[in-house]
């Protein structure tokens, strides 16, 4: 990912601001992980991980069209939470974080629940 990084450009009156897609993924991941009921981001191994490189957006995929962002998140939730409520809270948190930190409009936040973390016995 080092040389082939994709940047989102936000034009400004004094020039332009280039934001790496990795940064947007990290913002979305942090917002999701801070949501009560979310245990972890999950996602399959992708090509960068197989090549031995870290992928900061694992479990997060974004696509950009103009000034709008579409986000897909793959999550594991904790046992005993309402999956629908957690999904809605994640959508709200991710939308709010991306829009306030980058200035881009979030068009969609698709939450994919891939598992449930069972409580460990003490």
- Among 1-10, 76-85, 86-95, the minimum mean pLDDT is found in 1-10
* pTM metric for this prediction: 0.81
Q: Which residue has the higher pLDDT, 117 or 43?
A: 117
CATH 3.40.1190.20: does it fit domain 7-115? no
- Residue spans of the domains in the chain: they are 7-115
What confidence score (pLDDT) does residue 3 get?
45
> Over the stretch 28-59, which tens digit does the pLDDT of each residue have?
999 999 999 999 998 754 544 555 544 555 79
Neighbours of 78 (CB within 10 A): 15
User: If pLDDT is split at 50, 70 and 90, which confidence band does 2 have?
Assistant: very low
Residue at token pair 């990795």: 22
Q: Under a CB-based contact definition with an 8 Å cutoff, are residues 21 and 70 in contact?
A: no
């Amino acid at each position: 990912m080092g040389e082939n990084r994709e940047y989102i450009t936000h034009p400004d009156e004094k020039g332009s601001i280039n934001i790496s897609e990795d940064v947007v993924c990290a913002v979305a991941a942090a917002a999701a992980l801070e949501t009560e009921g979310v245990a972890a981001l999950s996602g399959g191994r992708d090509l960068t991980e197989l090549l031995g490189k870290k992928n900061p957006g694992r479990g997060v995929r974004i696509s950009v069209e103009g000034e709008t962002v579409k986000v897909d998140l793959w999550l594991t939730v904790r046992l005993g939470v309402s999956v629908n409520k957690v999904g809605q809270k994640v959508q709200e948190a991710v939308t709010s974080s991306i829009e306030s930190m980058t200035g881009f409009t979030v068009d969609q936040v698709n939450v994919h629940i891939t598992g449930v973390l069972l409580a460990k016995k003490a």
